[in-house]
Amino acid sequence: MARRMKWEIVHVPGEPERSLEVDTVDVFASNIEPKLANNIVRQLNQVVPLENLRHVKRVRRRTAEGKVELSVILCLSGEYEKDAEALPRGIHQLISAYNLCPYRAKVAKHAAISKEEWEEQCKLWPTSYHPSTNLDGIATLSEGELQLIFNYMDSAIQLTKMSYAGGKVQNAAVIVDPLRGQVIASAHDQTSYPCPLTFKTSARGGCVDECGVTIASQSDSNEFGNNQDNSVKKFALQKCNEYSGVSCLNPWGWTTQRASHQNSSGKSDNKFSWHPLRHAAIVAIENAAARDRELFPGLGSSESQSEPIDILPNPSDNCPSKRQKIQVFEELNMEKEFLHNSEPNELMRPYLCTGFDIYLVWEPCTLCAMALVHQRIRRIFFALPNPNAGALGSVYRLQGEKSLNHHYSVFRISIPEQNLHEIELNASNNSSNKAESKEEI
C-alpha cells in the first residue's frame, strides 16, 4: 500500500456520510422534441414548479445512437398514482398540445452531499450538486494558511513527545489565534502524573513488534471510516496499550492508572497530582482562561454575556417571551464583540475562545468536545480518529447536533508517516524506559 508522505486536510461534516443508496420519488416524464424544449419547460415551470426538488434538473439530455434525446419532468406522480385523469389541467393541455407520452421515472429525493452520491443520483436522473466543503473553508484556505495549519498540528505532535514523563503517550492540545498567528495556550493530558517530567534519550524499543502497530498499513484513502479506520484503530489502542494513556481514547481507564509513584513530587503549580477529567483540551481551555484573566484583569464577570444561553433550558411554553429575549442577548453579544468597545484593550480580547482554533493529536471525547462548544472554539483540527469515544464523527458527532448554540467546524489532518512515526517512537521509547526502570528497581 502506498505510504502517506504529505500532509492533507479533510473536512469532517456535521452529517454522517450517507449511504450511496439513493432515496427517490416518482415523477411523470416525457420525451420531447428538442426544438420545443424551451417552450415546454417554460410552461411547465409555471403550471407545476418542482418546489421541493430544486436539486433535480427538469430536463434530461441523453445521446443514444448518435441522436440527442431530451426528456422533461412533467410533475410528481405520487398524488396521481391511481388516477391519471387527475393530473393538473395544465399538464393535460401540454400533453395533448405536444403529443407527449408520459412515463414514470424516479429522481433523487434529496440534494447530494457528496460527489459519489451525486454520481449515483445522476444515473437515475440528472441533479445539480454544490459541494458543501466550500462553505466550510477548505476550498478557501490558501497554501500559506494550510502550511500554518500543518505547522500547528506538528507542534501539537511535538507536545505529545514532550509530555510523556516516563509514562505513556498523551494527547496534546494547542489553542491558536489564527488572525494574529499566536499560540494562546497549550497542554497535554494531566489525568495521571506518573513522575516528574524528565528526558531520557534512550534507544528505540521494540514497540512495533511488541504491540503490532502497523503504521504502514494506513491506506491512502482520506475518508475516515473505511480502510484507514482499521489500521488507525490498531494504532490507537486495541493492541498497543502504550496509547492507553491518551485520556480521550480511554476516559474510563483512570482507575487502572494507579500510579506506583504516588508521591507529591509530581505536583507542579497544579493542585492535583492526577485528575480523571484533566484531558488535554480541558487543561488547554483552563490555561486560555487563566491567560485571559492575567492579560485583562480589569474586565470582570460582566463579559460572560452569552454563557447563560449555554445552560438555560429551553424556555417553557408558558413563557413565550423567553425565546425572544435570548435572541436579544445573543445580538447584544455580537454587538459587544464586534462593534463597540470602550476600553482599547478590550478590542484585542475575544469572548472566551471565540475565533480561536484548537489542534488536538487525537479526536476528542464528549467531555472535551462539549467543553470546546462551551468555550466557543471556532475550528477543531485533529490528526488521529478516536474509535473508542470520539465525539466528532467516530462515535458521536457534536458538530452536527442542531440543538447546541455554537457549532465549530471540524477538520481531520492526515499526517505523513514520519510524523506518525514520531508518536509511535515516543511510545516505544517509553516502553523501553519502563523496562529500564524496572531493572533499576
Partner 1 sequence: MAFETGHDSASKMRFMELALEQARFALENLEVPVGCVIVEDGKVISSGSNRTSETRNATRHAEMEAIDTLLEEWQMIGLDQLEVAEIFSRCDLYVTCEPCIMCTTALSILGIREVFYGCANDKFGGCGSVLSLHDSNSEKLPRGALRGKGFKCTGGLLSEEAVALFRSFYEQGNPNAPKPHRPVRIAQEAE
**Interface of this chain with partner 1, residues 251 to 290, rule: CB under 8 A:** 251-252, 254-259, 262, 271-277, 282, 285-286, 289
Site for Zn ion in 79-118 (CB under 5 A): none
Interface with partner 1 by CB under 8 A: which range of 53-61, 107-115, 134-142, 302-310?
302-310
Minimum Å distance from CB 345 to partner 1?
15
**Residues 235-274 within binding reach of Zn ion (CB under 5 A):** 248
Cβ atoms within 10 Å, residue 187? 24
CA 66 to chain centre: 46
Residue 212 within binding range of partner 1, rule CB under 8 A = no
Pairing of strands 379-384, 357-362: parallel
Question: Which C-beta is closer to partner 1: that of 1 or that of 290?
Answer: 290
User: CA 60: distance to chain centroid?
Assistant: 36
Range 141-200, binding partner 1 (CB under 8 A): 192
Question: In this structure, how many other beta carbons lie within 10 angstroms of the beta carbon of residue 248?
Answer: 30
**Backbone phi and psi for residue 323, each to the nearest 5 degrees, phi listed first:** -55, -45
Which one, 63 or 264, has the nearer CB to partner 1? Answer: 264
Alpha helices in 198-242 (DSSP H): 207-211, 227-233
Report 390-409 residues binding partner 1 (CB under 8 A): 394-396, 398, 401, 403-405
Closest separation between CB of residue 365 and partner 1, Å? 7
Q: Residue 4 is placed in which grid cell?
A: 502517506
432 with 164: CB under 8 angstroms? no
Does position 312 interact with partner 1 (CB under 8 A)? The reply is yes
Closest CB to Zn ion among residues 126, 364: 364
d(CA 134, CA 118): 16
Sole window of 29-37, 85-93, 142-150, 299-307 interacting with partner 1 (rule: CB under 8 A): 299-307
Residues 6+ apart with CB under 8 A from 197: 162, 163, 165
Residues 11, 151: contact at Cβ < 8 Å?
no
Between 70 and 372, name the residue whose CB sits nearer to Zn ion.
Answer: 372
The nearer residue to partner 1, 11 or 376, going by C-beta atoms, is 376
Site for partner 1 in 340-369 (CB under 8 A): 340, 352, 365-367, 369
Nearest to 356 by CA among 176, 181, 180, 183: 176
Taking the least distance from each CB to Zn ion, the nearer of 307 and 436 is 307
Residue 248's binding partner among partner 1, Zn ion, none (Cβ under 5 to 8 angstroms by kind) is: Zn ion
Restricted to residues 97-116, the positions that interact with partner 1 (CB under 8 A) are none
**78 contacts 26 by C-beta, under 8 angstroms:** yes
* Binding footprint of partner 1, residue count (CB under 8 A): 73
State how far the Cα of 88 lies from the Cα of 72, in Å rounded to an integer. Answer: 16
Which one of 121, 127, 388, 409 is in contact with partner 1 (CB under 8 A)? 388
Q: How far apart are CA 352 and CA 303, in angstroms?
A: 9
- AA identity, residue 281: A
**Cβ proximity to Zn ion, 279 vs 412, nearer residue:** 279
365 binds Zn ion (CB under 5 A): yes
DSSP 103-127: EEEEEESS--SSHHHHHHHHHHS-B
The answer to whether 11 contacts partner 1 (rule: CB under 8 A) is: no
Residue 27 C-alpha cell reads as 415523477
Applying CB under 8 A, among 120, 177, 310, 422 the residue interacting with partner 1 is 310
Cell of 47: 403550471
From the list partner 1, Zn ion, none, partner contacted by residue 305 (C-beta under 5 to 8 A by kind): partner 1
In the complex, minimum distance from the CB of residue 364 to Zn ion, in angstroms, rounded to a whole number: 5
Establish if 172 lies at the interface with Zn ion (CB under 5 A). Answer: no
Radius of gyration of the chain (CA): 28
Using CB under 8 A as the binding rule, whether residue 329 contacts partner 1 is answered as yes
Find the binder of partner 1 among 117, 136, 189, 292 (CB under 8 A).
292
Which residue ranges make up the site for Zn ion (CB under 5 A)? 248, 279, 364-365, 367-368
